[in-house]
Amino acid sequence: MKKIGVLTSGGDAPGMNAAVRAVVRKAIFHNVEVYGVYNGYQGLMEGNIKQMNLGSVGDIIQRGGTILYSARSEEFKTEEGQQKAIDQLNTIGIEGLIVIGGDGSFRGAEKLTQKGYPCIGVPGTIDNDIPGTDFTIGFDTALNTIIDSIDKIRDTATSHERTYVIEVMGRNAGDLALWAGLADGAESILIPEKPDDFDSVIMKLKRGQERGKKHSIIILAEGVGSGVEFGKRVENETKMDTRVTVLGHTQRGGSPSGFDRVLASRLGARAVDLLLEGKAGRMVGIQKNELVDHDIIEVLKEPHEIDLDMYNLSNELSI
């Protein structure tokens, strides 16, 4: 393989740039030409593709977002869209593609692979919702952003007698809520994997109230429902003054943490190696600190699992 391409797709995540840098540098290290595809699959179909050199990825390892931009594309989901993309790649002679993104992006990569075009997926999403890897690129940075915000909310919470509900991202996964809750000593954590815990949250709040507890922090994963609605229910049930903060897109931004930069560098470089080894339709991941790779579609059939020991621990520590 003498020419490869790289794109970022779906929701952006801090550390994607570090992954792009690793792909570009590792390819050039192996004397392989590397092309950046701008705006994800949309840009791929439109031929928005430029050759990258060592300097193209200088000074980006510390930057959030993605210099290749990201996009969502309905057209790419069609056969015609996928063929357009392959035609663009063939015109330049690009022989393999690395896709940095979430599960939707991986399904696109699998479609291209099924059409005979080799792709490798690199998991980049703050949600940590991809099976086959312990961590996705961006999760650690988002977690630290959440922790920073909750620390600040806690300062004001201690000055008032209030209950705080904080809604965090994660799509259908509770990882961000769980890790943030444990890291911040939240009184309660609500995650989609344990959806029926509303009553126990109320019970815990009332118990706290009875023993004179002045404030409480509840972390709610967006996959459970709306934080605003939940806050109203809490206020109705407990009659406690309740405030809701939806952290929103601040969780997606910022300079990637050291962990995410290292993870992105390792995964991006490994993806290049796999393409050069002639592999296709694989995703790279990290499990027990070892780099691994899995069939990209088989792995997505597995359910994403939350660490229930951690969930139980958070309950034990917030009695």
Binding site for Mg(2+), by residue number, is 103
Which of the residues 12, 59, 87, 127 is marked catalytic?
A: 127
- Binding site members for substrate: 125-127, 162, 169-171, 222, 243, 249-252
Distance CA 100, CA 74 (A): 18
Q: Nearest residue by C-beta to ligand ADP?
A: 104
Distance CA 243, CA 231 (A): 7
Q: Which residue has the tokens 């706290």?
A: 208
- Binding site members for ADP: 21-25, 154, 185-187, 211, 213-215
Least distance (Å) between residue 80 CB and ligand ADP: 12
* Nearer CB in complex with ligand ADP: 125/242: 125
127 is catalytic: yes
Least distance (Å) between residue 9 CB and ligand ADP: 5
The count of other CB atoms within 10 Å of the CB of residue 78 is 12
* Nearer CB in complex with ligand ADP: 36/123: 123
Q: How many CA atoms lie within 13 A of 50 on its CB side?
A: 8
CB of 253 closer than 8 Å to CB of 83: no
Distance CA 47, CA 3 (A): 15
- Between the alpha carbon of residue 282 and those of residues 30, 79, 89, 186, the distances in Å are 20, 21, 19, 38
CB of 100 closer than 8 Å to CB of 137: yes
Q: Which residues of the chain form contacts with ligand ADP (CB under 6 A)?
A: 9-11, 41, 72-73, 76-77, 101-105, 107-108, 111, 125
Least distance (Å) between residue 71 CB and ligand ADP: 7
Least distance (Å) between residue 100 CB and ligand ADP: 9
Distance CA 299, CA 285 (A): 11
- Between the alpha carbon of residue 67 and those of residues 101, 252, 278, the distances in Å are 14, 15, 27
Q: Which residues are catalytic?
A: 127
